[in-house]
A = this chain, B = another copy of it.
């Protein structure tokens, strides 16, 4: 019954607090030189956020018996990668967004040059944290695994490549499988990496269990992005924090735009279900992951 208690909604707030404390500790102190750059880094990384990727790191660790103390560094690292990607994606040459979660985007709050550099410095801070044995008390091979996982998920085969495909697809018609491929890189790779980072913290983990978690991460990563696209079409701007239909206005191919809202909804639910089904070998210790899959598919922001 202990597991059921720990899987109550409070776990999300606890994990969120943990990672935010770790981020605050790892980011350069406010006011330290170069102050404008360091302040912009803190602004981008410590602003409001759902912390979905860190939550997945901790919840996956819970499922395989890795204590949260060993996961603070990878949880912070994956959030830093996510934060940097938002700063760069929002730039005028990319999505040209003025608002992000109800606040000015980093290049609006500071300036473009500072935003570019802040993104660059946030990305590399993720790897600095994983290489620091004071922050990540694991054997070197496990830390190397984490660094490799996070690097591959972030680069041209992962997130940066997905963003490039997204830009290339703007104004063009894609079929649902092509959209899913793009999403698998753009958002899916980092969500999947969040789950696998926890696995890297337990070197002896049976391959079958790692495979289950991998399938879970892949399925909910895709589900997450389809719901994101649905919220862009249907969501209340006051809740989502961005203008309704902003993707459609930019000519971005989205799942609901191509397949229709009903099919998109069904696909998101199906993927969440697949994610949960992948965890059938786990007991109540995977309760957080199961709840999270459902919550992500049903979310309204």
Contacts and interface: CB of A to CB of B under 8 A. Distances in A.
Interface of A: 28, 33-34, 36-38, 41, 84, 88, 91, 93-94, 111-114, 116-117, 119-121, 123-125, 127-128, 130-133, 139-141, 143-145, 147-148, 151-152, 154-157, 160-161, 163-165, 167-168
B144 A88 contact: no
A165 B124 contact: no
A151 B127 contact: yes
25 contacts: A28-B157, A36-B164, A36-B168, A37-B161, A38-B156, A41-B156, A93-B112, A93-B113, A93-B116, A113-B167, A117-B160, A120-B120, A120-B123, A120-B160, A124-B154, A124-B155, A125-B151, A125-B156, A127-B147, A127-B151, A128-B155, A131-B144, A131-B148, A132-B148, A143-B144
Given A131-B147, A131-B151, A156 B121 contact: yes
Contacts of A156: 28, 34, 37-38, 41, 121, 125
Contacts of A120: 84, 88, 119-120, 123, 154, 160
Contacts of A132: 148
Nearest to A114: B164
Nearest to A156: B121
Contacts of A145: 131
Nearest to A128: B151
A188 to B, nearest CB: 15
Contact of A116 (B88, B148, B151): B88
Copies in the complex: 2
Contacts of A38: 156
A213 to B, nearest CB: 20
A37 B128 CA distance: 25
Nearest to A28: B156
A253 to B, nearest CB: 15
Nearest to A129: B151
A94 B113 CA distance: 5
A243 to B, nearest CB: 20
A91 B116 CA distance: 9
Given A91-B116, A94-B113, A125-B156, 15 more contacts: A34-B156, A34-B161, A37-B161, A37-B164, A38-B156, A93-B112, A114-B167, A116-B116, A120-B123, A123-B123, A128-B148, A131-B145, A131-B147, A140-B141, A143-B144
A151 to B, nearest CB: 4
A160 B121 contact: yes
Given A36-B168, A144-B131, A160 B124 contact: yes
